[in-house]
Amino acid sequence: MFATAGRLAGKRLFEIRQIFAQSHHQLQARSSAFRFFSTALNYHIDSPDNNPHVPFDFTDANKERAKEILSHYPSNYKQSAVIPLLDLAQQQHGGWIPVSAMDAIAKIIEVAPIRVYEVATFYSMFNRTKVGKYHLLVCGTTPCMIRGSREIEESLLKHLGVKRNEVTKDGMFSVGEMECMGCCVNAPMITVADYSKGSEGYTYNYYEDVTPKRVIEIVEMLRKGEAPPVGTQNPLRKKSGPAGGNTTLLGEPKPPPCRDLDAC
Backbone angles phi, psi at 205, to 5 degrees: -110, 145
Binders in 188-217 for ligand FES, by CB under 6 A: 189
Strands (E), the chain: 134-139, 173-178, 189-194, 203-208, 231-232
Binding mask 152-181 for ligand FES (x = CB under 6 A): ----------------------------xx
Task: Give the residue from 183, 182, 179, 202 showing the smallest Cα distance to 192.
Answer: 202
Taking CB under 6 A as the rule, does residue 143 contact ligand FES?
yes
118 vs 179, which CB is nearer to ligand FES?
179
Rounded to an integer, what distance in angstroms lies between the CA atom of residue 172 and that of residue 167? 7
Rounded to an integer, what distance in angstroms lies between the CA atom of residue 194 and that of residue 99? 22
2 vs 36, which CB is nearer to ligand FES?
36
List 141, 155, 165, 199, residue binding ligand FES (CB under 6 A): 141
Taking CB under 6 A as the rule, does residue 136 contact ligand FES?
no
List 97, 184, 210, 215, residue binding ligand FES (CB under 6 A): 184
Binding mask 86-125 for ligand FES (x = CB under 6 A): ----------------------------------------
List 183, 193, 215, 219, residue binding ligand FES (CB under 6 A): 183
Cα separations in angstroms, 100 against 44, 97, 113, 207 = 12, 8, 10, 33
Q: Count CB atoms within 10 A of the CB of residue 19.
A: 9
Rounded to an integer, what distance in angstroms lies between the CA atom of residue 149 and that of residue 68? 39
CB of 30 to ligand FES, least distance (A): 22
Instruction: Point out which residues bind ligand FES (CB under 6 A).
Output: 139, 141, 143-144, 180-184, 187, 189
